[in-house]
Amino acid sequence: MKTLCLSLGLLLVIACCCDAIPEALRYSTSPVNCCNVFSNKRVPRNKVSSIKETHNSCIKKGFIVETVKGKLICFNQSFGWAQNLYKQIGNAEGSGLQQ
């Protein structure tokens, strides 16, 4: 009888935890790119393939620029060049225009 109660109790605890597992996995399985060091050197526009903001969970906020060769470079959000580039590429991608 004790084994049956223990088994049912354990099953109940597992059932309660299973509801929370998918929520936890959603956050832990996605790759997060954060920046620790920022560059202050501009990259020629024709060498940039994409730009995105750092993830909300990152301590230091910035932009991550990917070059056509696949190199990732971090820029501080207060860097004017990076802000302008983000606006340019964001507007072009949002409107469906090619650059």
CA distances from 45 to 8, 11, 27, 61, 86 (A): 63, 58, 33, 22, 11
In which domain, by residue range, is 85 found?
31-99
pLDDT on residue 33 = 82
φ, ψ dihedrals at 55, nearest 5°: -65, 150
Same domain, 69 and 45: yes
Token pair 């202050």 is found at 40
Report the pLDDT averaged over residues 76-83.
Answer: 92
To the nearest whole number, what is the mean pLDDT of the chain?
77
Same domain, 14 and 46: no
Same domain, 38 and 63: yes
Report the pLDDT averaged over residues 3-30.
Answer: 55
Whole-prediction pTM:
0.60
Instruction: Judge contact between 72 and 65, C-beta under 8 A.
Output: yes
Q: What is the CATH number of the domain that holds 45?
A: 2.40.50.40
Same domain, 21 and 35: no
- State pLDDT tens for residues 22-60: 544 444 445 678 999 999 999 999 999 999 999 988 999
Same domain, 83 and 53: yes
